């Protein structure tokens, strides 16, 4: 029983860590795109 709970907790932690990194990466890409647009309109 304890092994199952530990495994589930490990999987949830891994998924949430990967998800946060993915969202953060998308945010950075959008920010760079916005900066490029701003530079092109000057």
Q: What is the pLDDT along the chain (42 residues), one digit of tens a residue?
A: 888 888 888 888 877 777 777 777 888 888 888 888 888 876
The DSSP symbol for 9 reads: H
Distance, in Å, from the CA atom of 23 to the CA atom of 30, rounded to the nearest integer, reads 11
Residue in the block written with tokens 């945010």:
27
pTM: 0.50
SS3 state at 1: coil
């Amino acid at each position: 029983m304890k092994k199952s709970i530990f495994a589930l907790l490990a999987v949830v932690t891994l998924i949430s860590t990967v998800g946060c990194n993915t969202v953060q990466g998308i945010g950075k890409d959008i920010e760079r795109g916005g900066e490029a647009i701003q530079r092109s309109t000057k």
